[in-house]
Amino acid sequence: MKKIMLVTGHKFFAQSLANIMKTHSDLCSELHLTYDIKQAALDAEVLKADMVIIDISAATDALFGEVISLCGNLRKAAPDCRIILLIPGSDSECRKVAINAVQDSTIDDFIYHDASLDYLFAKIQSI
């Protein structure tokens, strides 16, 4: 079973997803919610997370730099930890950054915000 950490600034979203995931015990043994991206690398290391899902809701250069830096720090601290970004599909800049991050192995994959829960759960199980 996987230990999963969700990094997002949206408490409603995080708590809702956590409640849904509790009903799918085959997905993870533990789900940790982190609302501060600056704290995420340390939390993932302490938790010994198997997977970190990072929600990006708005595309700004500063945010992308912070997220990509976090992903790089996660890779160094926990090389076996899988990293998935949740991104807005309508934002072409987000897509470019996510695709580049997959290509250079900074992250393992990305999912669009408008993907179904079934898709998200399948991705969690497959990575």
pTM of the model: 0.89
- Nearest CA-CA partner of 63 in 83, 39, 38, 45: 38
* Average pLDDT, rounded, for the chain: 86
Residues of the domain holding 17: 3-126
pLDDT at 115: 93
18-76: pLDDT as tens digits = 888 888 878 888 888 988 888 888 888 888 999 999 988 755 556 777 888 888 888 88
Give one word for 91, left, alpha or beta, with left for phi > 0 and alpha for psi -120 to 50.
Answer: beta
8 Å CB contact between 52 and 10: no
User: How far apart are the C-alpha atoms of 120 and 97, rounded to whole Å?
Assistant: 20
Burial of 49 (0-12, 13-18, 19+ CB in 10 A): buried
Number of structural domains in the chain: 1
CATH number (domain holding residue 83): 3.40.50.2300
Joined together, the tokens standing for residue 124 give 């969690």
User: How far apart are the C-alpha atoms of 64 and 59, rounded to whole Å?
Assistant: 7
